[in-house]
Structure 1
Amino acid sequence: MAATALDAVDRLALCLLEDKDGLAVLGLCGAQGSGKSTLAQGLQARMRARGVASAILSIDDLYLTKAEREGLAQDVHPLLRTRGVPGTHDVALGLRVLDALAAGRAACLPRFDKAVDDRLPEAAWPEAGAGLRLLILEGWCVGARAQETGELVAPVNALERDEDGDGRWRRFVNAALADEYQALFGRIDALALLAAPGFDVVQGWRTQQEAALRAAGGGSAVMSDGEVARFIQHYERLTRHILAEMPGRADLVVALDAARGVTAVRSR
């Protein structure tokens, strides 16, 4: 991740820490493969060097377990078997973690293993110590807002057309985003967006992520290139909506090119 992006997010975090006592929550949003995790880790390293207690929580680590998503697939819609969209996270778990940290208490941070497509047991969760000053909440839909009902009518890709013809899945996702997710995102004190040049680059970025998991000896849930192409269609609608809607209200926008180079940095 370019130093300009890290420098910009670092400045935002420092201003946030100056303005707020106790826990400060920095939201970091960006499409799959945009470099959110790398940027979050770089920011945490800088905070540690300053002696600022910080931690990272990815919204991906709040995914429902495989068994819970299987239940949703049977009771609501088969597409909810696939992790990722609003409605497939344990938002209440995230809020409990934030409540504990905001109260100054230590809290264990959930962890999800994408290689096996399931949450790790609690014994494997790292602990954020008492008195945490900065929590970096990062994820592909962090800070997102729901679409208007009329925007849900027309499918945006083959997945929606062929597997959600009546729109039931996308209405469920949108309703979840409009409800419980806003309670979670309402805890964010400042929001930064890594803005991809468009959704078309996401497949290449996501394919690179899966290749890295495969090279690291990932489990059976590591996807082939064809599986990635289908998988990202679950995210397309909301990713396009975020790229159109969020730049106008985010506290910081880092515009990226297809190679993840920084083309512009805009702050409010």
Structure 2
Amino acid sequence: MSPLAGAGPTGGPADGPAGWATTWLDLRGEADSRSRSAELLTTAFAAARAARPGPAPADGVPLRVVDVGCGAGAMARWVVTRADGVPTRWVLLDPDPSLLRVGRGRLADAGATVDAVRVGTSDDLPDLLGGEHAVDLVVASALLDVLPGPAVARLASAVVAAGVPLLCALTVTGEVVLDPPDPVDALARDCVARTATTGGALGPGAADTLVAAASAAGAGVRSRATPWRLDPTRDADLLRAWWDGHAAAARHGAGPEERSTVEAWARRRDTAVAVGGLRVVVAHTDVLLLPVPWAGR
């Protein structure tokens, strides 16, 4: 999970010190864990095991997994806890060396084997897929929406060419439902979407871009809705952090004629958050790309 994970529509820091990024990743960890699709993970494991030549991983040969934009290692730990006895070995890829150190340590503490860590981005994935050690599965979480379109297309191309599954969890779709509703919610959502695509990031269109690129290459695609459902009692700290990022993104994306309306909306909502009076649903999707031989299954 990238340190940018959650920027824009899902809240959280868009940049800043690694310590703040780690704090944000830890805040969202429980919501992420309960939202990701265990069904798609099961399918990803089955595809990875079927595609691998030689002894089946169930016979004791580990699956080798690359976590792209691993952040503090939450996605990898989630996979390990749901591997149903299938051994795994890990390669962690992230542009932030300090987050890589955190991720490696936490994954080791969870009993997983980390073969390598690498400072880099999704564009470095082909080098890992073409290395001397076979890769069986690629995963990422809360990553796609902060990437530009060409990077998402290259990611799809790399895994399709290598014939390995790719599970991308928790990509925001742009839909946010606030309860109770407010007449300005739709305008604010549009303002947030403008901010999410600043600097070339795909934002809410990222999952569709991945699906289109993979489908054009003949890969199979499966997806599941994986929304966050934030409760002011259970998720108080995360909801507060998410709201701060969401409101800031709405203010940033508001046009001159919209700013006073959005500012008044943000103040109303801020009051509701402060007293535990706001529930939030943040839409995400999990997408699984399957190797070409699996496309029709």
The TM-score with structure 2 as length reference comes to 0.32
Structure with higher RCO (Cα < 8 A, 6+ apart): 1
Where is the strand percentage greater, Structure 1 or Structure 2? 2
